Structure 1
């Protein structure tokens, strides 16, 4: 074993129970030893906190440097000694961040949550597991979480002990990104033709994501999980990863449900081409690869493989991302929606109220607002948007600006759900709209703001949580845990608050409603009838993605 997978201290002696951190777990690569997730009682109520085990930094594939750079994840060589999985593994180099379309943004946000310090290397394909199982025979349902752009599996925001407390085996992981994860080039296509029989390249990050799912199928039973009950989940770029797992024939039959937070977009929404779910065709991906080659004065991929990770990370101008290769990504999003995905499974998806990432109130003048509408929508649609989202002063302009972005997400998600129900699929889809603003910040219900609540991990961040946040967490994590267990947010018995969860109805093609969660609970109209009609007309005028 490399030194990056350091041995650590076992659980405190006073934590005596039958928890799995007292057992050696055997995987196909070698034995691992977990540790207690908590060394003292957390500041929110988790009655079984003593039972929760975490395994940190378990490698699920080989080092991706050298000749493994720009190859599908390779099998890890087995280790002979027990790996004490007490430290998070290395993160992958070259993390990007996806933004809001330039015509519609004012100020972008960050999560505001601290990050556990880890080193970065190309030996970064590792995962973490949390479970409250006391036996490897318990067969808990499994949730595989994909983090958003710029994140890592070590972040407290993505801690899984709160979900493990609800009887779920929670897995998160690191994957390649930027040029390391998305470079396409004719030489790589030729290599892949020999290796997998397809003339493709570019989706290395996606293949990492798929490899985690396959690793879980082969190994998660040893951690008290059920490989036949895996739900994939993620937010933003992580939601794109989840969407690709849903759609790809390379994962067919491996998942039972998908949770896609911020989120699935209607394939005629232009934001698809600029946000985390964006992709490019192979020709465009090749052009980006050639530009990188020129930057380093390289003529072959072999020369690029000789570069250090630090040198390659210094290149930040490339338009890297998913490639429509008709293999890992089998078709356009529109065709996949019309014809049905590889995995016809229940979906839970939605958005936050203030996805735009702007600080509130948004500082924008009426003139700037009108100019943005004109530039982004063109004359005809700008006039219609101005009629339905009017602004006679600067305060109204800021509110209208944010309202349009929010409505775009809500209506787009509903239109996707409508298309899903009307297609060849048979599984239900549940949509939501999150509107609670966490305390201690001025960005409202911002992008990522629901994550602490759905993952039941308020204990891991230093926000000034209030009593209402604890109550909302009980409901949100209850719905999410129910869905992981039963693929229905209403069933599973995972709400530990008073009263009952409000019934969450699956989407139908004739009612433009979504489930409000956060500051209120229950069905809500996604927009007025006139606004829905406007967005439908605008989406119809755009090229399908």
Structure 2
């Protein structure tokens, strides 16, 4: 073992010397498949974009687990982002820097610190969000440059989406050597983690110190990779921003349900064989699968990536035994997500609560009271957010602290949105009622703060307060990636949540301060826990 470590050290020293910069020369590294040429950013950080980590999933490889990337000869330029995955781009806050969309999308991007070091550095692998139907590793808010400036080799990873990434079918299951089908997007992420183990040392990264992180579907992916027996030994720590693969948040279907979903879609598009399905042009397949009710995007318990549900795996203590840092935002979705088109008054709120909880409506109104408009707005926002994504994240944290001896850290991101820049104001349609003011931090709003990328979002007039919260959050995350503990110099003390009772949490806002979960919040999650039976 010692000789192997010595060999690795000298190998990396040679590689780092090869990639060291001479004035005017672009950096190069040698990975398993060939030599890559990157770029040097203004900060000195070296970036390598559009690196294939698996073979393009085209033709007969559509709906196959990712295959090893092909070798190339000569020097491959890694200056531009690879294709973004096939998707309908339903979310207006996504700004891709990739040039186009394709099934040929299995690329990753690496940012490595400017200064070479004899000591291998910690690694961050970030999975994007988008509900498994949208997203791309090229988004500016995920950019790894500022994390690399903290001494962390940082990656963003593409994975297949929608029908391309989650289509299950009995014929695919029969053809699989593992006896399962449908989890191709998750298997793409797993393949990227294996690529990291084989190649990240060439960029100065330590394959034994890999933290995985993500937001929304990316956070859900983190929980999935922690649960999967395929990936759990490839990671050293995990960060989740809003979401876990636990009911009701994108929980996996049974294999039978997923296969039936695939059969219904095949019948809808009049394809009576896998070959016929694979012959459908990618743009047509995307259009057909995007029609209302045509296809349900979901992972499934396939017996390979998932031997059982993630919740069951965590409950049994069979997940990756690593430090976990996770949390959510103070107003993930607005009150309208629960009230629909109704005005936020006590009468409408009570009516909706009674509809949703006919036998427990009185208990719900105690936990989420609505005696006036302001209280309705606050409680309906909290209830909608808890049902959407907060509860699943809480359950993930709760299970991991009970079945792991590793530290668990919880946060609440509460920094409200700053003013819009001129020209980016959201205008209310003429003739419609002005909604109640939105308070709190909405879903996905923390990403730019966590990764130090406020500048990537042109909509907001960022204030000194925003920049301070971003600096604090970035440093907490960087410390956790380096040590498994977010605490560090000039930061408020952040305690692990503990084994029992209400959780401690770090409220990332103005000001940032540590708090104890309120009894009301605790009782809310205990109530929802009984409803969802995870």
TM range (shorter): 0.7 to 0.9
Structure 1: distance between partners of 2:24 and 2:32 = 18
Structure 1 portions without partners, runs of 5+ = 1-15, 39-48, 98-109, 494-499
TM-score by length of 2: 0.85
State which of 58, 63, 87 in structure 2 corresponds to 1:65: 58
Contact 2:334-2:381 at 8 Å conserved across structures: no
TM-score by length of 1: 0.83
- Structure 1 position 426 matched with structure 2 position 426: no
State which of 175, 179, 183 in structure 1 corresponds to 2:159: 175
State which of 22, 26, 30 in structure 2 corresponds to 1:26: 30
Matches within 5 A, 1:511-530: 511-529=502-520
Matches within 5 A, 1:157-176: 157-176=141-160
Task: Spell out, residue by residue over 1:436-460, the C-alpha distance to the aligned partner (whole angstroms, 9 max, x if none).
Answer: 0131355630111111111011222
- Shift of the alpha carbon at 1:17? 5.7
Task: Spell out, residue by residue over 1:102-149, the C-alpha distance to the aligned partner (whole angstroms, 9 max, x if none).
Answer: xxxxxxxx5646332521111110011111143375411100000001
- Shift of the alpha carbon at 1:96? 7.0
Structure 2: distance between partners of 1:37 and 1:247 = 36
Paired position in structure 2 for 1:107: none
- Shift of the alpha carbon at 1:397? 1.8
Structure 2 portions without partners, runs of 5+ = 1-19, 421-437
The size of the alignment, in residue pairs, is: 485
Matches within 5 A, 1:126-141: 126-135=107-116, 137-141=118-122
Deviates more, 1:51-60 or 1:504-513: 504-513
Paired position in structure 2 for 1:229: 209
- Structure 1 position 393 matched with structure 2 position 366: no
State which of 289, 304, 312 in structure 2 corresponds to 1:335: 312
Paired position in structure 2 for 1:455: 451
- Shift of the alpha carbon at 1:415? 4.8
Secondary structure (helix, strand or coil) at the match of 2:164 reads helix
Structure 1: distance between partners of 2:367 and 2:199 = 53
- Shift of the alpha carbon at 1:538? 3.9
- Shift of the alpha carbon at 1:260? 0.8
State which of 451, 457, 461 in structure 2 corresponds to 1:464: 461
Structure 2: distance between partners of 1:466 and 1:78 = 47
Paired position in structure 2 for 1:259: 239
Task: Spell out, residue by residue over 1:486-519, the C-alpha distance to the aligned partner (whole angstroms, 9 max, x if none).
Answer: 011015x6xxxxxx21111111112333221122
Structure 1: distance between partners of 2:94 and 2:168 = 33
Structure 2: distance between partners of 1:464 and 1:351 = 23
State which of 59, 71, 75 in structure 2 corresponds to 1:78: 71
Contact 1:233-1:259 at 8 Å conserved across structures: yes
Structure 2: distance between partners of 1:437 and 1:478 = 20
Task: Spell out, residue by residue over 1:135-166, the C-alpha distance to the aligned partner (whole angstroms, 9 max, x if none).
Answer: 37541110000000122111111111110110
Matches within 5 A, 1:277-296: 277-296=250-269
Contact 1:288-1:318 at 8 Å conserved across structures: yes
Secondary structure (helix, strand or coil) at the match of 1:374 reads helix
Contact 1:57-1:128 at 8 Å conserved across structures: yes
Task: Spell out, residue by residue over 1:348-370, the C-alpha distance to the aligned partner (whole angstroms, 9 max, x if none).
Answer: 00000011156899952333312
Q: Which has the higher contact order (CA 8 A, sep 6+)?
A: 1
- Structure 1 position 202 matched with structure 2 position 193: no
Deviates more, 1:184-193 or 1:441-450: 441-450
Paired position in structure 1 for 2:492: 502
> What's the Cα RMSD here?
2.5
- Shift of the alpha carbon at 1:90? 0.4
**Structure 1 residues 346 and 215, CA gap change in structure 2 (3 angstroms):** same
